[in-house]
């Protein structure tokens, strides 16, 4: 992952004294067709986590002929939930670098549990807040084809699913809660929070995302309105 991030930083276009230095053609050619950015859940080992792995594995065969790269958001995923802002800052920076260096790449955002909260932050917060200091410009939404979140605490903490909370990203989001999972509903079925793969919800999300990748995303204006289809 560090090598991939280093590549993006190294080949990013920079402006020096009014002269734009464009990334080398070889680096541009290495851009994936689809870039998945996924944040794991609390306590999961470094990587995209079990839900993220299942989601990506289900997605790949649904987009034949397209290269799919995966970035695991680098953040603690610990019981210190305020550190989700660290993940949001890291994810936002990676997405913005991808847009700058690979403008034709379709970006897919995803997260499970606390990782879903990371995605809530970068798609809802338009200004710095509670440790999140790197909001994404509105134009970034044009490059994000889909968002898939699982066991999202926003439903309880923010009063609704991401589909309703984000004008720019909500319509391209699938926000899945497994039955009475208490993290994302008023239920009390704790085991449900660990059964997103078994319940087939990672496959459902992959099918939704594949559909989004196959259609042209609307153009989002600076005012957050959408046009086209």
List the catalytic residues: 113, 181, 193
DSSP label at residue 225: -
List all residues 6 or more positions away from 186 whose beta carbon is below 8 Å from its beta carbon.
156
**In the block, which residue shows the tokens 């260096």?**
101
DSSP label at residue 145: E
* 108, 34 contact by CB (below 8 A): yes
Give which of 142, 73, 102, 144 is closest to 8, Cα–Cα: 102
Q: Sign of torsion, CA 37 89 79 190?
A: negative
Give which of 108, 105, 113 is closest to 56, Cα–Cα: 108
How far, in Å, CA of 127 to CA of 197, rounded?
34
Give which of 53, 60, 89, 59 is closest to 73, Cα–Cα: 89
């Amino acid at each position: 992952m560090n090598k991939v991030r280093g590549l993006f930083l190294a080949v990013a276009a920079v402006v020096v004294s009014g002269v734009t230095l464009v990334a080398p053609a070889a680096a541009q050619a290495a851009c994936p067709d689809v870039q998945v950015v996924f944040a794991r859940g609390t306590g999961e080992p470094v990587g995209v986590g079990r839900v993220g792995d299942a989601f990506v594995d289900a997605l790949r065969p649904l987009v034949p002929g397209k290269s799919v790269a995966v970035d695991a958001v680098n953040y603690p995923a610990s019981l210190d939930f305020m550190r989700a802002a660290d993940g949001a800052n890291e994810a936002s920076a990676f997405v913005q670098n991808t847009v700058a260096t690979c403008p034709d790449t379709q970006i897919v955002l995803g997260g499970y549990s606390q990782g879903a909260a990371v995605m809530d932050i970068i798609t809802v917060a338009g200004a710095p807040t509670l440790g999140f200091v790197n909001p994404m410009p509105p134009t970034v939404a044009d490059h994000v084809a889909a968002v898939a979140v699982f066991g999202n605490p926003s439903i309880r903490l923010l009063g609704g699913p991401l589909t309703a909370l984000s004008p720019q990203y909500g319509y391209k989001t699938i926000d899945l809660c497994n039955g009475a999972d208490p993290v994302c509903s008023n239920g009390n079925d704790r085991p449900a929070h660990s059964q997103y793969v078994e319940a087939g919800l990672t496959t459902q999300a992959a099918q939704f995302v594949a559909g989004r990748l196959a259609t042209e995303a609307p153009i989002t204006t600076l005012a957050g309105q959408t046009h086209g289809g």
